[in-house]
């Protein structure tokens, strides 16, 4: 970066507040002179300087193995361990000869190269610390309250403009210090803005990004923008903002000079919202009625209508199963019937989404889950669960209070896995880094991670045994059956057979153990605190970012965790879900990736995320309110067609971004498009047989039926972990090949329940498959033989008839032979080559297909719009050049299925 250039006047444009007189000068100033005698503070100065120099980075001594026998905590989170490690490399009697100085000065060989320059302020800071006998962090040391970075927002106007950031640390003891020279700086997009190690920002290309400032436990992201046009502020064109969402989106776009696209057409809106909400295409009739409707509120009414369709319930049940980890791979042996656990999990969530149960209550049924319903004895529990597997039973797991399978997954048994999975699912946070070290992009430390673990210690999740007090009953129930010494899988298989015969079998269960009671006992004249009961349940835990909680007053240690989730003060729970819903409709989240909310990855529009999260909480976590709020915004209803200002924008919501559809919807859409009208319409009223209603997932799952291969190549979530990345919506070559050439697609075009067969029947023309099914392929050789045989026989009969006529045979012989030829043609017609039949005697009129209507319908049922004049002309010409009209229409439909416009939602 250049050291010269026009310094940007940030005070005028950002309203930054100058530091008060009480702010301590930066270390670079205080340690600039040789005469300085100040002793640096280990936490405030030494550790941040080592981070600034890269010493405790992951590529150096902060790596898990350390370097050269010297290991520091990554980014300096563990002050005691770091001080102990560094103390072995200081020489208090001759400070300049300390390894902690000689190595970075390259006075002795150092693999990391020279990190300090002799006589620099950094050198003096470390030297003064060693001279003062290397003091560590005291137990009552002040903590960082806030890192104030100014300017809080940067707006550039042209190339070469520059801004110097200033960072002031505010400590809990009231001290304020300029720590700019001790901060680490990075940019999230160096194409828009670059930043030096001293916090000097320089403008690059137009656009927006954040620069991130890190110091101690603080991570602060500063928005940096450079308008893409002159249409900013007062120059911004008048744009309708009918909803609060639109107001907040436009407020940001005004700063960027990005103008929104126009509102999309009715056809585009109907297709987009139908696929997004219900995973199905609108019918031809529905499209025509919607376009003809001239009322101003028709879009809002359509949104309400779609939210009541079964497709909405099925699709958002599937989404919630993705988020919460409903995986057959992880639920192995949870139920006596294979894959029953994933089915029960799906049905449980489905019933609640269908009833629009508030999101926090659904989460409560997972987070607080135990196997037994309130007041249910062990005997009643076993009876009720056994009846679920009895033939003719109409009970459903959905009727039970909670969903214990959430805790039964194999990848959710270790406390660390529970913390990581829970944070992904309900907080949108990737906290796994804090398992070993301070999170590099957030404030979470290893202490935060360990403290959070306490809430997950009380649950016994693998339901192989009942509660301890009911194990006698378990053995008594088991003794009724002749299971001998069977154990493990053999016992499970035997119990499966028994329960399917209508018997009541014993079950293990998910249960919570209360924390131990701490009592005071006297031993040898000394009073001691002793734990009584509680197993491994923790007595103390800490909510993220908060103070420790005494758990001994709770029967279930998850109670304060659940109360914190639904609290309006919770900074993550509502935002995590709101952000995921937004991402489902806009291709990217307000925070993106949606499951990576951290301080260094801030929202693209923080006021927008705050508005939606606050409204979601205020409306009682009503999921349909959230969907309506988003879908009714003009921002959602924008056209995908870009203008010169927004063509490169994909994160500020200035236009609709065409997006590849999720695997389940892509498959359903193909199936629907090629179906006849009756079957097509059933996609709106039923989810039977639809991919969005497939209950399980994972490599073990075998319930995808005909959709199995398509689900795989289109990236259906495998639910292998709790990461949103388990689902892929990236396009691939395999997907293109599948749509173009796979026999399954070609067979679907020619099915008897398909649209092509319907068109042929309506127009009275013959229709036969051009693509034999997999089951027919083995018969092709036999069919070829029969074709040759019967063609030869008919040819012989026709030759004999011709010879009779030529040689003057009698009329009776000729009449009998003519009758035989006609009979053979009729009897062998399906086996004969087209040229072997003589149609001169067929007096039936030739039916004509209404090609124009068929082409219109093909476009409406795939792209939800009529063809343009040019498209209609091309399609008509193609049909005319085909061997017959039905072959031509087959080609048109195949071509439409393979357009980008079909396979993306736009």
pLDDT at 883: 83
The secondary structure of residue 529, as a DSSP letter, is E
Is the pLDDT reported for residue 64 higher than 80?
no
Q: Tell me if 727 sits within 8 A of 716, measured CB to CB.
A: yes
For the record, the structure tokens of 209 come out as 């990004």
More confident call, 754 vs 793:
754
pLDDT score at 367: 97
pTM here is 0.86
Across 533-665, the runs of DSSP E, i.e. the strands, are 540-542, 548-550, 659-660
**pLDDT, greater one: 779 or 769:** 769
Say if residue 268's pLDDT is above 70.
yes
Q: What was the pLDDT predicted at 151?
A: 96
Q: Which of 91, 151, 175, 255 is nearest to 605 (CA)?
A: 255
Residue 844 has pLDDT above 60, yes or no: no
* Per-residue burial over 590-602, b = 16 or more CB atoms within 10 Å of its CB, e = otherwise: bbbbbbbbbbbbb
Lowest-pLDDT range of 83-97, 259-273, 365-379, 796-810: 796-810
Per-residue pLDDT at 10: 34
What pLDDT was estimated at residue 194? 94
Asked whether the predicted pLDDT for residue 8 surpasses 70, the reply is: no
Query: 409-418, pLDDT tens digit by residue?
Result: 999 999 999 9
Report the distance separating Cα 546 and Cα 443, nearest Å: 12
Task: Please state, as a whole number, how many other Cβ atoms lie within 10 Å of the Cβ of residue 490.
Answer: 12
pLDDT at 54: 87
Q: What is the pLDDT of residue 800?
A: 82
Q: Mean pLDDT: which of 421-435, 454-468, 603-617, 721-735 is highest?
A: 603-617
Q: Check: CB of residue 825 under 8 Å from CB of residue 816.
A: no
| Nearest-angstrom CA–CA distance, 242 and 637 | 12
Report d(CA 158, CA 2) in Å as an integer.
15
Dist. CA 692–CA 672, nearest whole Å: 13
Q: Report, in angstroms and rounded to the nearest whole number, the Rg of the chain calculated over CA atoms.
A: 36
Take residue 406 and report the two structure tokens written for it. 């959430």
Q: Which residues make beta-bridge pairs with 517?
A: 532
Alpha-carbon dihedral 308, 310, 315, 321, rounded to 10 degrees: 100
- Binning pLDDT at 50, 70 and 90, where does residue 59 land? confident
d(Cα 301, Cα 279) in Å, to the nearest integer? 18
State yes or no: pLDDT of 874 exceeds 90. yes
Alpha-helical segments (H) within 456-527: 471-479, 488-500
Q: Reading across the β-sheet that carries 166-171, which strands appear in turn?
A: 144-150, 166-171, 176-178
- 184: nearest Cα among 197, 195, 193: 197
Average pLDDT rounded to a whole number, residues 273-295: 96
pLDDT, average across residues 466-487: 90
Structure-block tokens of residue 845: 């009129």
More confident residue, 88 or 404: 404
Q: What is the pLDDT of residues 12-56, one digit of tens each?
A: 233 333 344 589 999 999 999 988 899 999 999 999 999 899 887
Buried-exposed string 417-431: b where 16+ CB fall within 10 A, e elsewhere: bbbbbbbbbbbbbbb
Most confident of 83-87, 309-313, 592-596: 309-313
pLDDT greater than 60 at residue 773: no
* Res 392: pLDDT: 84
pLDDT at residue 428 above 90?
yes
CA-to-CA separations, 73 to 47, 80, 84, 341, in angstroms, rounded: 10, 10, 11, 42
Q: Decide if pLDDT at 687 tops 80.
A: yes
pLDDT value at 782 more than 70:
no
Average the pLDDT over 826-849 and give the result: 55
Q: What tens digit of pLDDT does each residue of 124-157 get?
A: 999 999 999 999 999 899 999 999 999 999 999 8
pLDDT classification of 847: cutoffs 50, 70, 90: low
User: Within 13 Å and on the Cβ side, how many CA atoms surround 293?
Assistant: 18
Between CA 671 and CA 688 the distance in angstroms is 13
Token digits of residue 705: 């039926």
Q: How confident is the model at residue 840 (pLDDT cuts 50, 70, 90)?
A: very low
Give per-residue pLDDT as tens, 547-606. 899 999 899 999 999 999 999 999 899 999 999 999 999 999 999 999 899 988 999 999
Asked whether residue 263 carries a pLDDT value surpassing 60, the answer given is yes
Residue among 371, 334, 299, 239 at smallest CA distance from 646: 239
pLDDT at 682 over 90: yes
pLDDT at residue number 534: 65
What is the residue whose two structure tokens read 């319903």? 373
Please give the average per-residue pLDDT across 455-460, as a whole number.
93
Mean pLDDT across the stretch 624-646? 97
Residue 695: which pLDDT band, with cuts at 50, 70 and 90? confident
Supply the mean pLDDT for the chain.
Answer: 88
Q: Which residues contact 845 (CB under 8 A, 6 or more apart)?
A: none
DSSP 46: I
Percent of the chain with pLDDT over 70: 92
Ramachandran angles phi, psi of 7, nearest 5°? -75, 125
* Distances in whole angstroms, Cα of residue 240 to Cα of each of 248, 250, 251, 295, 612: 12, 9, 12, 19, 20
CA 279 – CA 454 distance, rounded (Å): 40
Residue 365, pLDDT score: 97
Q: Which DSSP string corresponds to 61-121?
A: TTSTT-BTTB---TTS--HHHHHHHHHTT--SSSGGG-HHHHHHHTSS--TT-----TTSH
Report which of residues 440 and 52 the model is more confident about.
Answer: 52
Q: Are 245 and 883 in contact (CB under 8 A)?
A: no
Whether cis (ω within 30° of 0) applies to the bond prior to 151 is yes
Averaged over 431-452, what is the pLDDT?
Answer: 81
């Amino acid at each position: 970066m250049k050291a010269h250039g026009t310094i940007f006047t940030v005070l005028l444009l950002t309203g930054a507040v100058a530091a008060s007189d009480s702010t301590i000068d930066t270390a670079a100033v205080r340690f600039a002179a040789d005469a300085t005698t100040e002793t640096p503070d280990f936490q405030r100065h030494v550790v941040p300087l080592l981070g600034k120099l890269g010493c405790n980075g992951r590529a150096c001594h902060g790596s898990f193995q350390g370097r050269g026998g010297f290991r520091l905590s990554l980014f300096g989170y563990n002050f005691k361990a770091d001080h102990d490690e560094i103390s072995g490399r200081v020489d208090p009697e001759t400070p300049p000869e300390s390894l902690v100085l000689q190595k970075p000065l390259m006075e002795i060989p150092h693999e990391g190269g020279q990190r300090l320059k002799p006589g620099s302020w950094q050198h003096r800071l470390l030297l003064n610390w060693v001279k003062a006998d290397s003091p560590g962090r005291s137990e009552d040391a002040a903590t960082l309250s806030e890192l104030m970075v100014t300017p809080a927002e940067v707006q550039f106007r042209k190339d070469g403009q520059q801004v110097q950031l200033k960072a002031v640390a505010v400590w809990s003891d009231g001290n304020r210090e300029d720590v700019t020279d001790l901060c680490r700086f990075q940019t999230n997009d160096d194409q828009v803005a670059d930043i030096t190690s001293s916090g000097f920002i320089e403008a690059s290309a137009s656009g927006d990004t954040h620069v991130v400032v890190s110091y101690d436990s603080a991570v602060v992201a500063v928005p940096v923008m450079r308008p893409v046009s002159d249409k900013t502020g007062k120059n911004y064109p008048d744009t309708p903002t009918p909803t609060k969402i639109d107001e907040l989106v436009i407020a940001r776009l005004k700063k960027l000079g990005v103008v929104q696209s126009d509102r999309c057409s009715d056809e585009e809106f109907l297709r987009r919202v139908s696929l997004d909400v219900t995973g199905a295409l609108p019918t031809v009739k529905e499209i025509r009625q919607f376009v003809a409707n001239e009322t101003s509120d028709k879009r809002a009414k359509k949104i309400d209508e779609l939210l009541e369709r079964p497709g909405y319930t099925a699709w958002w049940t599937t989404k919630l199963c993705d988020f919460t980890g409903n995986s057959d791979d992880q639920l192995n042996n949870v139920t006596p019937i294979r894959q029953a656990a994933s089915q029960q999990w799906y049905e449980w969530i489905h019933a609640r989404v269908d009833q629009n149960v508030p999101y926090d209550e659904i989460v409560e049924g997972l987070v607080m889950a135990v196997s037994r319903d309130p007041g249910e004895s062990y005997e009643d529990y076993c009876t009720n669960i056994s009846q679920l597997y009895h033939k003719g039973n109409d009970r459903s797991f959905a009727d039970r209070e909670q969903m214990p399978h959430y805790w039964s997954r194999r990848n959710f048994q270790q406390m660390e896995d529970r913390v990581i999975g829970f944070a992904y699912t309900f907080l949108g946070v990737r906290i796994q880094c804090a398992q070993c070290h301070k999170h590099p992009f957030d404030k979470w430390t290893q202490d935060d991670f360990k403290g959070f673990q306490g809430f997950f210690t009380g649950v016994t999740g693998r339901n192989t045994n009942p509660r301890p007090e009911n194990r006698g009953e378990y053995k008594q129930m088991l003794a009724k059956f002749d299971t001998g010494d069977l154990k493990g899988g053999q016992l499970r298989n035997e119990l499966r057979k028994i329960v399917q015969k209508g018997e009541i079998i014993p079950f293990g269960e998910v249960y919570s153990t209360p924390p131990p009671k701490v009592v005071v006992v006297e031993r040898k004249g000394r009073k001691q605190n002793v734990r009584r009961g509680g197993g491994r349940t923790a007595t103390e835990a800490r909510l993220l970012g908060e103070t420790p909680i005494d758990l001994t007053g709770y029967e279930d240690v998850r109670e304060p965790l659940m109360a914190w989730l639904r609290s309006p003060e919770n900074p993550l729970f509502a935002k995590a879900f709101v952000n995921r819903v937004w991402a489902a409709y806009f291709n990217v989240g307000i925070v993106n990736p949606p499951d990576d909310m951290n301080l260094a990855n801030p929202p693209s529009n923080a006021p927008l995320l705050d508005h939606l999260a606050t409204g979601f909480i205020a409306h009682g976590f009503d999921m349909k309110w959230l969907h309506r709020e988003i879908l009714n915004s003009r921002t959602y209803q924008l056209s995908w067609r870009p203008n010169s200002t927004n063509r490169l924008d994909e994160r500020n919501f200035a236009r609709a971004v065409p997006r590849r559809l999720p695997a389940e919807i892509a498959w359903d859409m193909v199936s629907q498009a090629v179906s006849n009208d009756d079957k097509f319409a059933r996609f709106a009223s039923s989810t039977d047989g639809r991919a969005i209603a497939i209950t399980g997932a994972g490599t073990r799952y075998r319930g995808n039926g005909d959709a199995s291969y398509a689900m795989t190549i289109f990236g259906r979530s495998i639910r292998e972990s709790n990461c949103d990345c388990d689902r892929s919506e990236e396009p691939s070559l395999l997907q293109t090949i599948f749509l173009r050439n796979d026999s399954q697609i070609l067979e679907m075009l020619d099915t008897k329940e398909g649209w092509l067969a319907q068109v042929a029947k309506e127009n009275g023309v013959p229709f036969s498959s051009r693509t034999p099914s997999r089951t027919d392929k083995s018969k092709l050789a036999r069919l070829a033989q029969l074709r040759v045989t019967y063609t030869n026989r008919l040819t012989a009969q026709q030759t004999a008839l011709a010879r009779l006529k030529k040689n003057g045979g009698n009329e009776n012989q000729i009449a009998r032979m003519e009758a035989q030829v006609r009979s053979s043609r009729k009897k062998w017609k399906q086996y004969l080559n087209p040229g072997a039949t003589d149609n001169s005697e067929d007096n039936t009129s030739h039916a004509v297909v209404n090609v124009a209507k068929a082409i219109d319908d093909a476009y409406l049922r795939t792209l939800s719009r009529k063809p343009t004049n040019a498209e209609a002309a091309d399609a008509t010409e193609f049909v005319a050049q085909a061997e017959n009209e039905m072959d031509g229409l087959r080609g048109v439909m195949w071509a439409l299925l393979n357009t980008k416009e079909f396979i993306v939602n736009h």
